[in-house]
Amino acid sequence: MPLMPSPADDPRTLVSTQWLAQHLRDPDLRILDASWYLPGSARDAKAEYAAAHIPGARFFDIDELSDQRSTLPHMAPPIEKFMSRLRAMGVGDGHQVVVYDGSGLFSAARVWWLFRLMGKMDVAVLDGGLPKWQAEGHETEDLPPVIRDRHMTVQRQNHLVRDVTQVAHAAKLGQAEVIDARGAARFAGEAPEPRPGLRAGHIPGARNVPYDSVLNPGGTMKDPAALRAVFEAAGVDLSKPAITSCGSGVTAAVLALALERIGHRNWSLYDGSWAEWGMYEDLPVETGPAQPRP
């Protein structure tokens, strides 16, 4: 039987493994392995890519392709660096990009957000990632892809990112919903942060939507109706602008992708996230679960 794409396939947000299998040989398709793992996970993303990746995939190094001038982890790179690195990977204008990772749906969303930040819309996350691809028996390879240079133009979309000053202002005035993707224990300040030296807790007034709460078992994203229910159950007012946050701006992008999937277009990502907020003693911190609204 021919492979049938999922009715939820959207080449600007999320595509299924069936969709990718059907389009794998398209000349203008570019696949990126954006695997990245938390410190202490004992997983090596580059080694895993070298051992097995989806045919034609390039490795997107989230830590290297970042703003190396910043002391914060993997901050969004300057436009010029993004363009030059992607061009060297043979990714450019006119390409449909599909990003995946080795966890299912985790760090790939960060690269989806980076492309959006740079004004590139034809980019989607592979739903379920490499684990689902391999579980279904699709092919992998261990050979590096043949690279052909491709021109890339970029137009940064500044409304998709927020800095610490903007987040502090929005949180204080209640102008936006700050949505934290970390687990409940870290959000409440009951579990230590994986990065040393950070305070425990969360941005005052933030809502907690752990990134895995928007996923099904197996690492695929829930359908839009279920996603909306997750946000509403966490007390998120979806009529307000949303600012997503997490530990270092990776899983915050999973929530951004989920918001985009439910049609909530007025969102941005706090790039510094808790790696920044938790470092500064003069910024307020709350502990405990999110407080109910008066």
Distance CA 26, CA 263 (A): 28
Which DSSP string corresponds to 1-63?
------TT-BTTTEE-HHHHHHHTT-TTEEEEE-----TTS---HHHHHHH-B-TTPEE--TT
The torsion defined by the Cα of 49, 34, 119 and 242, in degrees rounded to 10, comes to 170
Work out the end-to-end distance of the chain between its first and last CA atoms, rounded to an integer number of angstroms. Answer: 56
Domain 14-156: give its CATH code: 3.40.250.10
Domain 159-277: give its CATH code: 3.40.250.10
> Is 54 in the active site?
no
What global pTM score does this model have?
0.95
The count of C-alpha atoms lying within 13 angstroms of the C-alpha of 237, restricted to the half-sphere facing its C-beta, is: 12
**pLDDT for 181-239, tens place per residue?**
999 999 999 998 888 889 999 999 999 999 999 999 989 999 999 999 999 999 999 99
**pLDDT for 158-188, tens place per residue?**
999 999 999 999 999 999 999 999 999 999 9
Q: Closest Cα to residue 124, out of 40, 2, 26, 15? A: 15
Q: Which of 246, 253, 254, 262 does the annotation list as catalytic?
A: 246
Domain ranges of the chain: 14-156, 159-277
